[in-house]
Homo-oligomer: A and B are copies of this chain.
């Protein structure tokens, strides 16, 4: 075949190649899990009891690279839940991402991350933060999480209708992330935002059929997210948790996401 002009040859890197470029242990580990388990699926485990969360983590665990929690919607939270979740993360080799969406000034998020009933920094590998308070939020979270080798994702875009995370806001968020790569390992976003192969892109609002919910959530398909938006991880919630057969649904999302990844090299 004829050689393409240089600007058209966009080299896509494999998970293995990207893991090799990561300096943060968590992004390195995540890319390695994605390769080993052949999955770019994150489960948004939005259930309301500890028993459901544990059951979901154990049954869906084999198919995911990341378990995303909202610990503050669990009615019967306890230290026992955390202990069981951590065991399941080890058993099934996934990373725990508490989707706290920290959004306060540095001095406050420090206390919310390290303290309170949830002591999020003690068990969540990854948390995320909104950029709206300015860089102090990252400084505050880093003071708690960095020594524990935790990491943060910057919310640079959202999947919801009418989001203000766009244009300048998104650009400022990316800058904030790129200035703190010792702690911020990537983005919550709806498309690829950084050319640094060590930076992760994780996209929420994914279902096998595009559409909307009644409260402004907008869905993209796995293929759209991986192929066209060039994101790395698909975050699926209700498409799995509200399926009649969540395990079967998880397998389908895993397959759809990984096939889309493999097709990048064709």
Contact = CB atoms under 8 A, between A and B. Distances in A.
22 contacts: A70-B111, A71-B116, A72-B72, A72-B117, A73-B111, A74-B116, A74-B117, A75-B115, A75-B117, A105-B158, A105-B216, A105-B217, A106-B213, A132-B155, A132-B169, A133-B216, A134-B162, A134-B163, A135-B161, A135-B216, A136-B160, A136-B162
B115 A117 contact: no
Nearest to A164: B132
Contacts of A75: 115-117
A70 B132 contact: no
A159 interface: yes
Contacts of A112: 70, 72-73
Q: Kindly report how many copies of this chain are found in the complex they form together.
A: 2
A244 interface: no
Interface string A83-115: 000000000000000010101111110111001
Nearest to A115: B73
Contacts of A103: 101, 103, 130, 132
Given A70-B112, A72-B117, A75-B115, A169 B164 contact: yes
Contacts of A132: 103, 130, 132, 155, 158, 163-165, 169
A46 B108 contact: yes
A131 interface: yes
A73 B70 CA distance: 16
B106 A216 contact: yes
Nearest to A106: B215
A123 interface: no
Interface string A215-243: 11100000000000000000000000000
